[in-house]
A and B are shown apart, each in its own frame.
Chain A
């Protein structure tokens, strides 16, 4: 009887993760005020060992994951990145290093290439040294230019990510021009997402509506001029577009992130959410974590959604938005994301946007460093 060959629906498992992001460390030589890392990163437990990471890589690949991203912090402060890349690549992962470029020497680059690293994404904070150094609070701009040239010479496409915010968005024309000068194939312009340190610095980082409109116009001009020569992706800020976004394509659907101290998360920032137990990869296999852990099932799908989402026609599109954003703004992780105009808390967004328009407000930046982290001792 061929029906026996088809397992009952209840036994058919959902697909495994497609994308494993290893946040290998919270250590970072830079101090970006827009960093999405938790503000209290200084209190995180000890970093995973090389063997712990190798286990995570093998288990995620066995579940079908095909993307392996390495970020942090600055991943290159660890000296075992080459080992992790080699294992991941050999198992068939597409390997992507997300780096500020600090620590990427010729020797290190050669070793990574030899290990099979597929791709490097370089973050640029700004095109002018003054602004770049202001927002990262270090002198790293010349180095970034050098690193971009080096990776290009090694045969990597040059892929640059630049986070946009109030203090650099007016330099966008120069930022794009510089990406062209160094021969970038791809430029991602990501408006700040207000998580972690960025949430703490939200007042100082939020651009005005006029700044944002100008930035989009500048981007469109360059796009028309450059065509396929350099692709530009402009990631719109959800505060301004008022469009809630799914957590990483849906909670527990494709994305698995592991923190430096081993917590498995359905999105980069979920460790801030209250009342949840975060499984540690030291104690549990990835298979159990992905399919069976209460955390990964907590906000999976749409059945858990409150009103007004539950009866909204867009619920499959956005799953009620970002859980961390809902929690940071309303104190409730299962609330409708306030960026949605239908949220009963949407005025919180309107107020933040109105504040961004107020001239003369003093907007000090709190830089991301271990001292501020220990002093503030709060998740965001």
Chain B
């Protein structure tokens, strides 16, 4: 489990960008590409190594006028971590 103060960032092995031909956010890595759905794209867009998970959740809830997103965001970040897409800033 990660502490509330840990700040996720995109792993430098990947590049995150909007891809017009796919009409989607993608993660690019050597010789490959992951096409992300909208919510995954919105979460990763906020993984800048500066925001904590609670901050990301609050930000998404404000942007999409929603509430109770914490569980979904945490589940996604856990998966993203297992895929090596993100790393954690802790200092």
Q: Which A residues are closer than 8 A to B by beta carbons?
A: 15-16, 18-19, 63-64, 66-67, 69, 92, 94, 96, 118-119, 121, 155, 157, 159, 185-186, 228, 231
Q: Are B21 and A64 in contact (CB under 8 A)?
A: yes
Minimum Cβ distance to chain A for residue B38 (Å):
19
Q: Mark B9-41, 1 if CB is under 8 A from A, else 0.
A: 000110101011110001011111100000000
24 CB contacts below 8 A, A to B, read A16-B21, A18-B33, A63-B21, A64-B19, A64-B20, A66-B21, A66-B28, A66-B33, A67-B28, A67-B30, A67-B31, A67-B32, A67-B33, A69-B31, A92-B17, A92-B19, A94-B30, A118-B15, A119-B30, A121-B30, A155-B12, A159-B30, A185-B13, A186-B13
Q: Binding site of A, secondary structure by majority: helix, strand, loop or mixed?
A: loop
Nearest chain A residue, comparing its CB with the CB of B81: A228
B5 at interface by CB-CB < 8 Å? no
Minimum Cβ distance to chain A for residue B57 (Å):
26
Nearest chain A residue, comparing its CB with the CB of B18: A92
- What A residues does B30 contact at CB under 8 A? 67, 94, 96, 119, 121, 159
Nearest chain A residue, comparing its CB with the CB of B14: A94
- What A residues does B2 contact at CB under 8 A? none
Nearest chain B residue, comparing its CB with the CB of A89: B15
- What B residues does A66 contact at CB under 8 A? 19, 21, 26, 28, 33
B55 at interface by CB-CB < 8 Å? no
- What A residues does B17 contact at CB under 8 A? 92
B84 at interface by CB-CB < 8 Å? yes
Tally of contacts, chain A with chain B, CB under 8 A: 42
Task: Please name 20 further chain A to chain B contacts, defined as beta carbons within 8 Å, in addition to the given A15-B21, A67-B28, sorted by A numbering.
Answer: A16-B21, A18-B33, A64-B21, A66-B21, A66-B28, A67-B30, A67-B31, A67-B33, A69-B31, A92-B17, A94-B15, A94-B29, A94-B30, A94-B33, A96-B30, A96-B31, A119-B29, A121-B30, A155-B12, A228-B84
Q: How far is the CA of A155 from the CA of B12 in the complex (A)?
A: 9
Nearest chain B residue, comparing its CB with the CB of A159: B30
- What B residues does A155 contact at CB under 8 A? 12
- What A residues does B13 contact at CB under 8 A? 157, 185-186
Of B12, B28, B84, the residue contacting A94 (CB under 8 A) is B28
- What A residues does B21 contact at CB under 8 A? 15-16, 63-64, 66
Q: Are A64 and B31 in contact (CB under 8 A)?
A: no
Q: Mark B46-81, 1 if CB is under 8 A from A, else 0.
A: 000000000000000000000000000000000000
Q: How far is the CA of A63 from the CA of B20 in the complex (A)?
A: 10
- What B residues does A69 contact at CB under 8 A? 31
- What A residues does B31 contact at CB under 8 A? 19, 67, 69, 96
Nearest chain B residue, comparing its CB with the CB of A228: B84
**8 closest A-B pairs (Cβ-Cβ)?**
A64-B21, A94-B28, A96-B30, A119-B30, A157-B13, A66-B33, A94-B15, A66-B28
Max chain A C-beta neighbours (<10 A), residue from B15, B17, B19 = B15
Minimum Cβ distance to chain A for residue B13 (Å):
5
Q: How far is the CA of A57 from the CA of B30 in the complex (A)?
A: 17
Q: How far is the CA of A94 from the CA of B27 in the complex (A)?
A: 10
Max chain A C-beta neighbours (<10 A), residue from B12, B30, B33 = B30
- What A residues does B28 contact at CB under 8 A? 66-67, 94, 118
Q: How far is the CA of A67 from the CA of B27 in the complex (A)?
A: 11
Minimum Cβ distance to chain A for residue B15 (Å):
6
- What B residues does A159 contact at CB under 8 A? 30
Minimum Cβ distance to chain A for residue B61 (Å):
31
Q: How far is the CA of A18 from the CA of B20 in the complex (A)?
A: 13
Minimum Cβ distance to chain A for residue B87 (Å):
11
Nearest chain B residue, comparing its CB with the CB of A118: B15
Q: How far is the CA of A188 from the CA of B84 in the complex (A)?
A: 17
Q: How far is the CA of A64 from the CA of B20 in the complex (A)?
A: 8
Q: Are A157 and B12 in contact (CB under 8 A)?
A: yes
Minimum Cβ distance to chain A for residue B49 (Å):
15
Max chain A C-beta neighbours (<10 A), residue from B20, B28, B32 = B28
Q: How far is the CA of A18 from the CA of B31 in the complex (A)?
A: 9
- What B residues does A228 contact at CB under 8 A? 84
Q: How far is the CA of A231 from the CA of B13 in the complex (A)?
A: 12
